[in-house]
Structure 1
Amino acid sequence: MAFTRATGKHRAPSRMARRGAGIAGAATLAGAGVIGSLASPALAAEAVEDGSLEDTGLTRVVTDESLARHVDAQASAQEKQAYEAAARAKAAEEAKRKAELRAKEIREAKERAAREAERKRLNSFQLPVAGSYVSTGYQTGGALWSSGHHSGIDFHAAYGTKVVSVSSGTVVEAGWGGAYGNNIVIRMNDGTYTQYGHLSALRVYVGQKVTPGELIGISGSSGNSTGPHLHFEARSSAEYGSDINPVSYLRSRGVAL
């Protein structure tokens, strides 16, 4: 014979009944989506303390405020980095542009200086024989000259010495010149003429352009000459008899003589 215990309003449910009711309640809450949002008591307590959870009365729910602040901070940092990178790139580009401009200015200044130096060089005058001196002066008298006087000056020059053009010009005569022997006449760029006589060899031809210090011949003793030297004349034209004082001519053009 089995015994049963009557239940009534004053008798508490059995453990089995309480457990069953708890399971059933949990199932109901799960179906309502409540259990899925529950956090452990420890985590919930920490969240409430730092303000990232709010107490709803049923459970504590994580809010979006701290996450939004974090995202905003990241966005601001990235925006700042992008701005700084763009500023650095712009500064580098500006520095590069300035450096290129400065290099161009320096290059152009050097080119102008080189052109000016070359212009001065081409317009300069120098001795026809480097380091030489006048051995016979202008208009020196004597029977050695058909006119009775020296129409130019003689520069000391051993046989085989290099003879150069005193300045820039164009060769108008290069060959035998009678009493002058092998001679060269050059029309200078300033319109005057210079003559180089008694040469042993010629190194230029008629029509050739020459510059200051350019080799034009080799000294000797050809023609009416008593020994190796260079006869030099300055003239107002290519013709004999238009001679001018060669010493004054060279000195007025900056040659120390």
Structure 2
Amino acid sequence: MAFGSRPAGSGKHRGSSRLSRKTAGYAGIAALATTGVVGTIAAPAFAADNGGNNHSQDNTLGAVVVADELPGDIAEQADSQQRAAEHAAAKAQAEADARQQAAEAKRLAEAKAKAEREAAERAAREEERKRLNTFVAPVDGSYVSTQYHAGGGMWSSGSHTGIDFHADEGTSVHAVGAGVVVEAGWGGAYGNNVVIKHNDGTYTQYGHMLRLNVSVGQQVTAGQQIGLSGSTGNSSGPHLHFEARTGAKYGSDINPLAYLRSHGVDL
């Protein structure tokens, strides 16, 4: 028998090879993956062609699903972090604002306290100034009975060196202003007398008094009682002899009525 090549188309039809079937299977799986069908339909084909390698293919398909979900998870995490950062920033800003408000409140309270202290100090200084510079009449509710420089033989100088205030015996006599007592006792023709040096450097004298209530070196204030009126010394009757002077001694007298008026005393 002669052997030769088999004629084309003659003999038994041969089926597709195993490699061809695998290729077709893979193509089908790819098509299914493209359309989103990745469940039980694709799994048998992998199992039939791969003979137990379907686990690898399942991992591949799972990765595709996870990859689809990953961008959403990342975005949600980013949003959460952004919200947390904004919350922290808002909290920090609120705390900073609270500290600033507390500091401003403290500053205002300190400024108010300082202003109140300064106002109180000014008021105290003003009160002290008024106390030191306030003058009053030496006898309350009285009047001048003999004027300054009135002439007559009663006075050794030939004229009156002060003014006389009408005052019954025992009437309260006051220091006309704040100062220190530089003389208190018998003054010859002036009888019981007091001389006060005032804060402005001037002096006042109070003569013919019945009794003295102060002593030399004593500080007195305006309106303070220094004795009681009388008629001691060279006197024709109870009254208060009052002088204003530029010095402590006799002969430095100035107009006492003008002096009192210049210090705000209404006579």
TM-score by length of 1: 0.68
Are positions 1:181 and 2:182 aligned together?
A: no
Aligned length: 211
Distance of 1:153 and 1:136 partners within structure 2: 6
Are positions 1:255 and 2:249 aligned together?
A: no
Matches within 5 A, 1:196-215: 196-215=206-225
Cα distance change on mapping 1:60 and 1:117 into 2, 3 Å: closer
Are positions 1:56 and 2:49 aligned together?
A: no
Unaligned runs of 5+ in 1: 1-30, 39-53
Are positions 1:80 and 2:87 aligned together?
A: no
More helix as a share of residues:
2
Match of 1:216 among 210, 226, 236: 226
Match of 1:126 among 136, 152, 177: 136
Tell which deviates more after alignment, 142-151 or 195-204.
142-151
Distance of 1:57 and 1:146 partners within structure 2: 132
Q: CA RMSD in A?
A: 3.3
Distance of 1:74 and 1:140 partners within structure 2: 101
Q: Tell me, what secondary structure is at the counterpart of 2:266?
A: coil
Q: Quick one: which amino acid aligns to residue 218 of structure 2?
A: Q
TM-score by length of 2: 0.66
Matches within 5 A, 1:140-151: 140-151=150-161
- Which residue number in structure 1 is paired with residue 174 of structure 2? 164
Cα distance change on mapping 1:120 and 1:178 into 2, 3 Å: same
Q: Quick one: which amino acid aligns to residue 112 of structure 1?
A: R
Q: Quick one: which amino acid aligns to residue 198 of structure 2?
A: M
Cα distance change on mapping 1:197 and 1:56 into 2, 3 Å: same
Q: Tell me, what secondary structure is at the counterpart of 2:142?
A: coil
Match of 1:104 among 80, 100, 114: 114
Are positions 1:70 and 2:70 aligned together?
A: no
Q: Quick one: which amino acid aligns to residue 88 of structure 1?
A: A
Deviations 1:205-257 (A, max 9, x none): 11223332233222223333333321101123222233222112222333222
Identity of aligned residues (%): 58
Q: How many Å apart are 1:64 and its aligned residue? A: 4.5
